[in-house]
Amino acid sequence: MAKKPSTPIGERTILGFDFGTRSIGIAVGQEITGSASPVKAVPAKDGIPNWDDILHVVEQWQPDLLVVGLPLNMDGTNQEVTFQAKKFANRLHNKTGLVVETQDERLTTADAKAQLFASGGYKKLSKGNVDSKSAQIILESYFENSYGN
């Protein structure tokens, strides 16, 4: 991918990823506002997406940084999917050349489902909607933890 000029911290565009073994949610956010929006969910098979789909989104949004949600147990310890998410983050870095950071994502799926249900009932709770909304929440919590927005 083409290297773009460095954007100052606080003004970067960031893509967030909610890693899952069957689907990977994607959201885009802006540091300057500390907010994010769902983009889409990409199907995965055993945690492996069609990389062309992922790279198309990266090319479309031209982010400065990528953030991958890190699924941890409630006590903060790793689980099997934690290692798969780290592997995904490493591959994402290798395929894009962009810096990839991880963000604790405990309870984001439950939060995403609650927010979607509140905005439209059960019809809003499709797998893709939940995964991309989870990516949005991961990214917004990254902003909150990093910048106190």
Residue 121: DSSP 8-state? G
H or E stretch at 66: strand 65-70
* Fold (CATH) for 13-147: Nucleotidyltransferase; domain 5 (3.30.420)
Looking at per-residue pLDDT, the higher value among 12 and 78 belongs to 12
Distance CA 40, CA 24 (A): 9
Q: What is the pLDDT of residues 93-105, one digit of tens each?
A: 999 999 999 998 8
- Residue 126 in this model has a pLDDT that exceeds 60: no
From its phi and psi, is residue 101 left (phi > 0), alpha (psi between -120 and 50) or beta? beta
Distance CA 12, CA 25 (A): 20
